[in-house]
Amino acid sequence: MKGNSLKVIGLALCTLFFVQAKAQELLDYPLDTINGEEVYRYEVERSVGLYRIGVNFNVPQSEIIRLNPQLRERGLHYGEVLYLPTGRPVNAKPTKSTLKPKPAIVETEPVVVSTVITETPVVAEAPLTPVAPIVTDTLTITETPDTTDTVLDNRRIVELALMLPFESHQTKRSANAERMLEFYQGALIAMYELQNDSTKYRLRVYDTERSETRVGALCDSTEMDSVRGILGLVYPIQIERVAAWSEVHQVPTLLPFCDDTDLNNRSHLLQFNSTDRQEADSLCRWIKAQDSTLRCAFVEAQESEIASSIRTLHQRMDAHQIAYSTLPLQDLLADSVAYALDSVNENLIILHSDRYQNVRTLIPHLIKLQQAGFRIRIVSQYSWQKENILLPQVYTSVFTGGKDREAYEQLWATYFGSEHVSEAPRYDLLGYDLMRCLVAWINGEKVYNGLQSSIYWNQADETSGWQNANVHIVTTNLYYRK
């Protein structure tokens, strides 16, 4: 049964990724020639990753990396120019098309279902067959296995559910759906690694979209009765519905993206993102542990521009009795703020936003102050869902892991048939870490140390849900990069 299922997945996805890869009609992009090979010149659009580029141009990621070797070192960046193969000989007569690229189409009519049962191969039975993730706009249904939690081939079967908005019924997916797919890819790698001689893990994948009705129907049915753990959910109304189901069935549900869920009387909810208050208190404790002469100063901003996380930090610094002052923004931009700084002791400059574009203009002025002899550190909250912030010091609950990723990257290349290249942050690493963390929780472990994130679960009281309490302060040298 497993072999047939994998063949179905492999066949569908090989078709998805490589059909029409050598299309004869040119797309409406500038042409160039590299080493006798005809290529497109493509400027990377915002929120588009390497996976989506490969699908749109019908080329494997490995071919993109071959023509753009810089991607191996620094990843993909918005606005840069990539060379993409046309699949035509250089001397071929070009036939221009006015159409933009479209995703490859599987030539068999897809089966539209809400559930995909993914059976990952067992380590002991490999060699591993390279296979891409199931793409949810052409859902592939595998042979449904026995869903009871019993022993099969001397192994206990544990079913897990992944519930995310893949937007499988939309003509064009949003950037958020692309991130959900990358999260899913990492979860598949984790599922592969988790198989062992005593336990077989199976994954149910549900496209929740934005629908409360879809999630409610699942909870009201018997379909998930065999599920032992849930990973996912994004929208509050869906979380509310599944949280109630989880309490009744005593099934842990790990929320990967939210940070403000009501955890009261929900002992089976696990929230990965720390709250603003947790992060503010962690930063306050870090400040108090430094030299007592450290002087804290907020850069002045209009109230409407201050992120809620920074507003919370103001309140918690007051509660922790940490003195701070305000630096007028105009004085800082005019390089006339030296009068407000301590010329002897270290100054901690707290930026008013967690968005890099709101603070990037301030950094050169802070560097000038440092060059003038002032001792300066800067800090701003790093919200990982946003840009790859190049701030010297950040506090975060996400990038706290430090394990060697070499084995993971090798497994990725083998499993999906190409190297991983994407914009930061790595949603696949988050999917990998949280899938393994969920299984660790099911096995009674309250601490998980992952590739990208380490998680320490904490419970406010015995009836409330669990919160990741690992907030990390990262310090590096002050620098600025345009």
pLDDT in tens, 79-121: 788 889 988 766 555 444 333 333 332 222 222 234 444 444 3
The whole-angstrom separation of Cα 341 and Cα 370 is 11
CATH homologous superfamily for the domain 20-89: LysM domain (3.10.350.10)
User: How many other C-beta atoms can be found within 10 angstroms of the C-beta atom of residue 414?
Assistant: 15
CA-to-CA separations, 124 to 48, 121, 195, in angstroms, rounded: 37, 9, 9
Q: Where are the beta strands (DSSP E) in 145-281?
A: 151-152, 155-164, 199-207, 227-232, 253-255, 269-271
Q: What residues in the chain have per-residue pLDDT under 50?
A: 1-24, 94-151, 383-393, 477, 479-482
DSSP string, 358-373: HHGGGHHHHHHHHHTT
In this prediction, residue 43 carries a pLDDT of: 84
For 455-462, the CB contacts below 8 A with 24+ separation are 455/272, 457/270, 459/267, 460/263, 462/267
In this prediction, residue 363 carries a pLDDT of: 78
The whole-angstrom separation of Cα 14 and Cα 22 is 14
For 361-365, the CB contacts below 8 A with 24+ separation are 361/333, 362/299, 362/332, 362/333, 363/391, 363/478, 363/480, 364/480, 365/332, 365/333, 365/335, 365/337
> Whose CA is closest to 202, among 140, 138, 115?
115
DSSP string, 377-414: EEEEE--TTS-----SEEEESSS------HHHHHHHHH
CB 421 within 8 A of CB 75: yes
3-state secondary structure of 196: coil
Q: Residue 476 corresponds to which tokens in the numbers above?
A: 């590096």
- Any idea how long the chain is? 482
pLDDT in tens, 208-234: 988 888 899 999 988 899 999 999 999
In this prediction, residue 20 carries a pLDDT of: 36
For the stretch 243-258, what's the b/e string if a residue is b when 16 or more beta carbons lie within 10 angstroms of its beta carbon?
bebbbeeebbbbbbbe
In this prediction, residue 416 carries a pLDDT of: 79
Predicted TM-score (pTM) of the model is: 0.68
What are the extents of the domains in the chain? Answer: 20-89, 115-273+404-455, 276-396
DSSP string, 17-86: HHTTTT-SSBPSS-EEEETTEEEEEEEPPTT--HHHHHHHHT--HHHHHHH-TTHHHH---TT-EEEEEE
In this prediction, residue 231 carries a pLDDT of: 97
Q: Residue 45 corresponds to which tokens in the numbers above?
A: 């659009």
User: How many other C-beta atoms can be found within 10 angstroms of the C-beta atom of residue 402?
Assistant: 12
| Integer-rounded Cα radius of gyration of the chain | 25
Pairing of strands 155-164, 199-207: parallel
Name the residue type at position 440: A
In this prediction, residue 187 carries a pLDDT of: 94
CB 207 within 8 A of CB 168: yes
Given this chain, do its domains 115-273+404-455 and 276-396 carry the same CATH topology?
A: yes
> Whose CA is closest to 297, among 389, 373, 375, 383?
375
**Strand (E) or helix (H) holding 142:** none
Pairing of strands 447-449, 393-396: unpaired
* DSSP code for 96: B
The whole-angstrom separation of Cα 416 and Cα 478 is 38
Name the residue type at position 401: G
CA-to-CA separations, 18 to 9, 84, 92, 170, 268, in angstroms, rounded: 14, 14, 21, 22, 43
Cis peptide before 256 (omega within 30 of 0): no
> Domain 276-396 is in which class?
alpha beta
- CB-based contacts of 364, cutoff 8 Å, min separation 6: 480
> Domain 115-273+404-455 is in which class?
alpha beta
